[in-house]
């Protein structure tokens, strides 16, 4: 997406806040239910991995789940891999296929849940980018800069926990790496967003260097 923005959609039945909201950084009932299903012994690892992705889509991206045609297992690489199948779809109506890895399932933990939610959002951004004409290897750095910048800068969804500083820094560094691979015109186009990413990186690194409170 040329704007680099992406909205998180809560599940339609989440309009009323629970009587007792979860503490900051804690998982709410919906997040805990997804986590419990991921960590259960049954069904098979394949089904649990695919179910986690679908549950995240339905719970946090309800207005965008139609971007995804199917979820497959296993991914040949770590994390999630999204492709847009070659089936002839009207331009602007392409759907993605997400391949989910064992690593994604194994990292669906209390500590990693907030990142898993944002990670799915990253993949949805890629499908929207394809719909906007950003396909092809020559657009790869642009797609990844925007997706990693969004993922690294986005606030965690309330009730999904916290993403740790080290993970956020790694995502931001990936955005910076891809920005540097852009051509001169694209670097000028995204300069303001790049500056925001660098500012966030500096703030996170400053926290690391700050002395501990007595």
- Mean local confidence (pLDDT), 80-100: 88
- Mean local confidence (pLDDT), 76-89: 84
CA 128 to chain centre: 13
Residue 59 inside a domain? The answer is yes
What band does 91 get if pLDDT is binned at 50, 70 and 90? confident
CA 81 to chain centre: 12
Q: Evaluate if residue 12 carries a pLDDT over 50.
A: no
Q: Tell me, what's the pLDDT at 159? A: 98
> What is the C-alpha to C-alpha distance for residues 4 and 1, in angstroms, rounded to an integer?
5
Residue 34 inside a domain? The answer is yes
Assessment of whether the complete model's pTM goes beyond 0.75: yes
Q: Report the mean per-residue pLDDT for the chain.
A: 89
What band does 208 get if pLDDT is binned at 50, 70 and 90? confident
Q: C-alpha angle with apex 33: 127 to 161, nearest 5 degrees?
A: 70
Q: Which residue has the higher pLDDT, 3 or 121?
A: 121
Residue 14 inside a domain? The answer is no
Residue 188 inside a domain? The answer is yes
Strand partners, 8: none
Residue 72 inside a domain? The answer is yes
Domain that holds residue 162: 28-208
Residue 42 inside a domain? The answer is yes
Q: Which tens digit of pLDDT belongs to each residue from 157-205?
A: 999 999 999 999 999 999 999 999 999 999 999 999 999 999 999 999 9
Paired tokens of 77? 């690489």
Angle between helices 191-209 and 165-180 (to 10 degrees): 150
Q: In Å, what is the CA distance from 136 to each residue of 9, 70, 143, 187? A: 28, 21, 10, 18
Q: Give me the number of domains the chain comprises.
A: 1
Please enumerate in sequence order all residues whose Cβ is within 8 A of that of 32, keeping only pairs 6 or more positions apart, or say none: none
Q: Tell me, what's the pLDDT at 68? A: 97
Q: Which residue has the higher pLDDT, 36 or 21?
A: 36
> What is the C-alpha to C-alpha distance for residues 61 and 86, in angstroms, rounded to an integer?
24
Residue 105 inside a domain? The answer is yes
Q: Tell me, what's the pLDDT at 25? A: 76
Are the CB atoms for 52 and 38 separated by under 8 Å?
Answer: yes
Are the CB atoms for 77 and 101 separated by under 8 Å?
Answer: yes
């Amino acid at each position: 997406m040329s704007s680099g923005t992406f909205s998180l959609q809560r599940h339609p039945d989440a309009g009323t806040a629970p009587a007792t909201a979860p503490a900051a950084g804690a998982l709410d009932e919906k997040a805990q239910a997804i986590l419990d299903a991921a960590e259960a012994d049954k069904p098979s690892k394949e089904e649990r991995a695919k179910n986690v992705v679908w549950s995240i889509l339905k719970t946090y991206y309800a207005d965008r789940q139609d971007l995804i045609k199917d979820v497959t297992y296993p991914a040949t690489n770590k994390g999630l891999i999204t492709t847009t199948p070659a089936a002839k779809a009207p331009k602007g109506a392409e759907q993605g296929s997400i391949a989910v890895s064992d690593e994604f399932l194994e990292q669906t933990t209390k500590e990693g849940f907030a990142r898993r939610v944002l990670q799915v959002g990253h993949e949805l951004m890629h499908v929207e980018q394809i719909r906007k004409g950003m396909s092809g290897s020559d657009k790869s750095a642009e797609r990844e800069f925007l997706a990693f910048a969004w993922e690294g800068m986005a606030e965690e969804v309330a009730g999904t926990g916290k993403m740790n500083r080290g993970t956020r820094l790694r995502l931001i560094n990936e955005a910076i790496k891809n920005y540097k691979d852009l051509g001169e015109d694209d670097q000028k186009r995204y300069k303001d967003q790049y500056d925001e990413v660098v500012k966030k990186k500096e703030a996170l690194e400053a926290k690391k260097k700050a002395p501990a409170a007595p």
